[in-house]
């Protein structure tokens, strides 16, 4: 007696109709593509990167849109899961970015800030130190240019006072309070922030005082950068949402998420190669520019293949999506991430 069979869309072998899983490759036989399925077991299986990762790299780089089509059409066990591939490459990128770029520039940023005339003009110091400095100038009989020097200091102080316009509070008073060992609470009171002041304003000025007191921007930069991986989990769904708007007849939102996962995985892989190459060999600017252009060409080719659109439609829609994303989405996200990093610094 022969049992009715069906063909597996993944390995193309036959299996019995009553089977829930293909006996040849193990893929489910009747699963619908939904958002829950897309994220199913991704986190728990994150570190189980196997040979499928290496099998996925070649089509990811040289066959735009192939992985997305394969996953949407049911071949979901042949290549690495899109969300899993994205997570692996994004974590690797941010790890290398922190190790090779951010960490090495923390001290440089701190030294620049500490040497800044804006933060470290003589008027920033206590008034007694200022008096001592001018006494040394008189003893050395360096009389020429003192008036011009004082005018430049006044200009710096005016800029700083405009930077922190709180009830006529001056930077010179802030410097004196810090030099005398005043607490943040005392400083906030002197600035005119009372108990009725909103918690948001108190927090913002407290963070500013902390940054000004420590004269260190490196840790602030590190904190902001540490929030970028979280931001990417917002930026990617927004990119998928833009695809949904421009290709609203091309299936459910989950399909656009699959495309976004693979496209962002491609971007992260290219960024990883650029980081490693620049660490050993400095890439000329024109090569970086060509790589950026190649990314846009990749997007056009992937859209044309996945959404089966014409050349004109693919070029036009990918161009508009790129412009919206880079001119509006990314700048807004950067401001929000920077604000959040400053808030938790």
pLDDT tens for 202-259 read 777 777 777 766 666 666 777 777 777 778 878 899 999 999 999 988 889 999 999 9
Report the pLDDT value the prediction gives residue 121, as an integer from 0 to 100.
47
CA pair distance 226, 216, nearest whole angstrom: 17
Residue 10, SS3 per DSSP: coil
More confident of the two residues 191 and 73:
73
Q: Other C-beta atoms within 10 Å of 117: how many?
A: 11
Nearest partner of 193 among 211, 183, 206, 182, judged by Cα: 206
Q: Other C-beta atoms within 10 Å of 105: how many?
A: 14
CA pair distance 318, 302, nearest whole angstrom: 10
Read off the pTM: 0.68
More confident of the two residues 288 and 258:
258
Residue with the two structure tokens 């769904």: 237
Yes or no: say if 165 and 156 are a contact pair by the CB < 8 Å rule.
no
156 burial (CB, 10 Å; 0-12 / 13-18 / 19+) is: buried
Percentage of the chain modeled with pLDDT above 70: 66
Q: What is the pLDDT of residues 18-58, one digit of tens each?
A: 777 787 777 777 767 777 666 655 555 554 556 788 889 99
Report the pLDDT value the prediction gives residue 244, as an integer from 0 to 100.
94
CA pair distance 148, 295, nearest whole angstrom: 53
């Amino acid at each position: 007696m022969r049992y009715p069979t069906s063909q597996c869309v993944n390995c193309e072998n036959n299996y019995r109709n009553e089977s829930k899983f293909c006996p040849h490759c193990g893929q489910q036989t009747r699963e619908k593509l939904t958002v829950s399925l897309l994220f199913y077991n991704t986190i728990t299986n994150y570190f189980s990167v196997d040979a499928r990762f290496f099998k996925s790299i070649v089509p990811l780089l040289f066959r735009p849109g192939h992985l997305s089509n394969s996953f949407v059409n049911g071949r979901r066990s042949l290549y690495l899961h899109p969300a899993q591939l994205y997570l692996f490459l994004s974590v690797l990128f941010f790890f290398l970015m922190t190790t090779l770029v951010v960490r090495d520039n923390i001290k440089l940023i701190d030294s620049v800030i500490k040497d800044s005339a804006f933060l470290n003009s003589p008027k920033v110091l206590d008034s007694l130190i200022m008096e001592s400095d001018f006494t040394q100038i008189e003893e050395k009989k360096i009389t020429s240019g003192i008036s011009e020097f004082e005018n430049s200091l006044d200009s710096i102080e005016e800029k700083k006072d405009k930077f922190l316009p709180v009830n006529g509070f001056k930077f010179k008073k802030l410097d004196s309070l810090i030099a005398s060992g005043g607490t943040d609470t005392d400083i906030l009171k002197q600035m005119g922030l009372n108990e009725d002041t909103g918690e948001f304003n108190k927090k913002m000025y407290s963070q500013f005082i902390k940054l000004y007191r420590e004269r260190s921007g490196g840790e602030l930069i590190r904190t902001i950068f540490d929030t970028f991986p979280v931001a990417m989990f917002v930026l990617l769904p927004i990119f998928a949402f833009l695809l949904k708007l421009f290709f609203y007849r091309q299936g459910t939102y989950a399909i656009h998420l699959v495309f976004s996962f693979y496209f962002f995985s491609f971007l992260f892989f290219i960024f990883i190669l650029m980081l490693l190459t620049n660490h050993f060999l400095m890439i000329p600017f024109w090569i970086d520019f060509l790589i950026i252009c190649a990314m846009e060409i990749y997007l056009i080719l992937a859209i044309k293949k996945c959404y089966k659109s014409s050349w004109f439609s693919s070029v036009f829609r990918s161009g508009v999506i790129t412009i919206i994303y880079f001119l509006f989405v990314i700048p807004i996200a950067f401001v929000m991430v920077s604000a959040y990093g400053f808030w938790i610094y």
